[in-house]
Amino acid sequence: MIIDKLFYKTLFKNLFSDTYELTLWDGSTEIYGEGEVQFKIKFNEAIPKADIIKDPSLTFGEAYMTKKIDIEGSVQKVIESLYNNKESFLRNSNQYASLLKMATNNVKNSKKNIEFHYDIGNDFYKLWLDDTMTYSCGYFKSYEDSLTQAQRNKVEHILKKLNLKEGETLLDIGCGWGELIISAAKKYKVKALGITLSNEQLDKVNEKIKKEGLESSVEVKLIDYRELKNRTFDKIVSVGMLEHVGQDHLAEYFKALNDLLNDKGVSLLHCITGTKIGGNNTWINRYIFPGGYVPAVKELVNCMSDEGFSLNDAENLRLHYGRTLEHWAKNFENALPEISKTKDETFIRMWRLYLNACAASFNCGNISIHQFLFNKGVNNELPWTRDYMY
Cα pseudo-dihedral 205, 207, 209, 215, rounded to 10: 120
DSSP helix/strand/coil, 181: helix
DSSP helix/strand/coil, 85: coil
Residues with catalytic roles: 358
Do β-strands 29-32 and 39-43 pair in parallel, antiparallel, or remain unpaired?
unpaired
Whole-angstrom Cα distance, residue 314 to residue 311? 8
Q: Which positions ≥6 away from 246 have C-beta within 8 Å?
A: 102, 103, 104, 105, 291, 292, 293
Contact of 205 with 185, CB cutoff 8 Å: no
The β-bridge partners of 268 are: 237, 373
Contact of 288 with 266, CB cutoff 8 Å: no
Q: How is the beta sheet containing 218-222 ordered, strand by strand?
A: 218-222, 191-196, 169-173, 233-239, 261-273, 368-375, 310-316
